[in-house]
Structure 1
Amino acid sequence: MSDTIESTVMAEPEASSSSAILTGMKRGFPIFLGYVPLGFAYGVLAVQNNIPAVYAVLFSLLVYAGAGQFIAVGLWGMGASVFSIVFTTFVINLRHVLMSAAVAPWFAPFTRFQQFIIGWGLTDEVFAMHSMAMATGEKARLPLVYAANLTSHSGWVLGTFIGAVAGDFLPDPKLFGLDYALPAMFLALLVPQCKERLYTLAAILSALLSVILAMCDTGRWNVIIASVITSTIGALLVTHRDRNIDALRRKA
């Protein structure tokens, strides 16, 4: 009897971990599907800009920078210096500082090394996925987070591999509409988060401000500046609203 109880107790963490991994894979699968065509487009562009296929795949495997990789390939094709490519990619990816800071409290129970691994796999879409989970009050589980991140990343690497192999035989990927994969995925992740009027207004304001800043020749800083301004305004409005609600509850 005691052996049965002991085996059951020992099996619970394993079952829980397996369930968390499966849940993480399910959450990351839509991003996987979006990343495959996007990675395919990148792989084609990389090979067409004289980057060996193996380097294109390694770039997606180790750097995993999304938009930064597309920019790097374009600069490489124009003959830009290594410093210019590294610096431009760094500026484009500065938004990851904001994203990491936003979800850092959710990953606080994990070790620094575990947080580093999670942060390495934190793309825009993965950030949106984890943010939605955090907003519901869900407790972060390491197997789930790892599985979601790895599933998403594997789609990007797989797409890059296929695109790099097929790059010598295909024309411009824009002819197939593959360049729309990233905006479409952003919209699919944005809409579920606009549950309240305030969130919807913040999203619209951020988009308009980003376009205006881009027209003012701010370079790649437009997204970062617009995100900081609108998120700050949104946070202040939410704080003010919550204080008013608390005050009304106290009076009642």
Structure 2
Amino acid sequence: MSTRMEDRELTWYEGIKDALPTFIGYMSIGIAAGIVGASSNFSVLEIGLLSALVYAGAAQFIIFALLVQGTPISVIVFTTFIVNLRHLLMSMTLAPVLTKYSLLKNIGIGALLTDETFGVAVTRMAKKEPINDRWMYGLNLSAYAGWIMASVLGATAGKWISNPKAFGLDFALTAMFVALLVLQLQNLKESRLKLYLTLILYTAILMFILSMFVSISIAVLLSTIIAAAIGAVMDR
């Protein structure tokens, strides 16, 4: 029975169906991103292109803020690179089950991978359920289309919302990641939950200490990297 399940070829449609919760989530966060972008004096076209070409929610919120402040392009590119560096680890996690596909297909899958679609894929892997290239493309492209549509809708609506912070829209992405964290913690064993909560505490302490010597943005990056390294050693 398990062998037949592993050999079964998943379809695009199944990937699209599994992407539905992500698609719905992206509609809300994408609209918020579009509104924030519009309030930062970006045009609908610029926001749409940014969503299509960068396709990274956290990075887009950061780019809006940095460009408004007149930050040099080199700093923006480097910051975006650091923020999205986690995608390297996510892609490496999925790589072993996708090695049978061509390099071009893997590039396409990796380029559209996000935290949420990775979560859907890795959950199937944890349940010993199969994934394949068609399923991944259905999953990724559905989420991609949803994000672009939502960003454009938000950019259009943003013309009538001068201060998105008054509605808490600038906190929308952070709220989504907090919700994802809570959902992950709920399904953990007690020993692993203690480990992760300890690492979160380490991160907060390191962030506080490092912020006395460097900027808060650098402190966040350094404390996260150090805590992740500690976690890798403790988790073995």
Out of 54, 61, 66, the position equivalent to 1:63 is 54
Judged with a 3 Å threshold, the aligned counterparts in structure 2 of structure 1 residues 31 and 161 are, in CA distance, closer, same or farther, namely: same
Q: Which residue of structure 1 aligns with residue 33 of structure 2?
A: 42
Question: Does the residue aligned with 1:61 lie in a helix, a strand or coil?
Answer: helix
Check whether the contact 1:38–1:179 (CA below 8 A) recurs between aligned residues: no
Q: How many residues align?
A: 219
Judged with a 3 Å threshold, the aligned counterparts in structure 2 of structure 1 residues 232 and 102 are, in CA distance, closer, same or farther, namely: farther
Q: Which residue of structure 1 aligns with residue 22 of structure 2?
A: 31
Out of 183, 201, 206, the position equivalent to 1:213 is 206
One-letter amino acid of the counterpart of residue 169, structure 1: W
State which structure, 1 or 2, has the greater radius of gyration over its C-alpha atoms. 1
One-letter amino acid of the counterpart of residue 223, structure 1: T
Q: Which residue of structure 2 aligns with residue 229 of structure 1?
A: 230
Residue 177 of structure 2 corresponds to residue 186 of structure 1: yes
Structure 1: any 5+ residue segments left out of the alignment?
1-15, 237-252
Residue 197 of structure 2 corresponds to residue 204 of structure 1: yes
Out of 74, 80, 90, the position equivalent to 1:83 is 74
Structure 2: any 5+ residue segments left out of the alignment?
1-7, 212-218
Distance 1:223 1:39 in 2: 25
Judged with a 3 Å threshold, the aligned counterparts in structure 2 of structure 1 residues 23 and 231 are, in CA distance, closer, same or farther, namely: farther
Shift of 1:82: 0.9
Shift of 1:53: 1.5
Distance 1:118 1:199 in 2: 30
Distance 1:20 1:192 in 2: 27
Shift of 1:23: 2.1
Check whether the contact 1:202–1:231 (CA below 8 A) recurs between aligned residues: no
Shift of 1:151: 1.5
Out of 121, 124, 130, the position equivalent to 1:133 is 124
| Deviation by residue 1:2-31 (Cα, 9 ceiling, x = unmatched) | xxxxxxxxxxxxxx76x6223212221111
Question: Does the residue aligned with 2:151 lie in a helix, a strand or coil?
Answer: helix
One-letter amino acid of the counterpart of residue 54, structure 1: L
Distance 1:232 1:156 in 2: 36
One-letter amino acid of the counterpart of residue 52, structure 2: L
Check whether the contact 2:59–2:83 (CA below 8 A) recurs between aligned residues: yes
Q: TM (normalized to structure 2)? A: 0.82
Per mean C-alpha deviation after superposition, the further-off stretch among 216-225 and 150-159 is 216-225
| Deviation by residue 1:51-100 (Cα, 9 ceiling, x = unmatched) | 22211111111111211111111000001111111111111111212222
One-letter amino acid of the counterpart of residue 207, structure 2: A
Judged with a 3 Å threshold, the aligned counterparts in structure 2 of structure 1 residues 97 and 44 are, in CA distance, closer, same or farther, namely: same
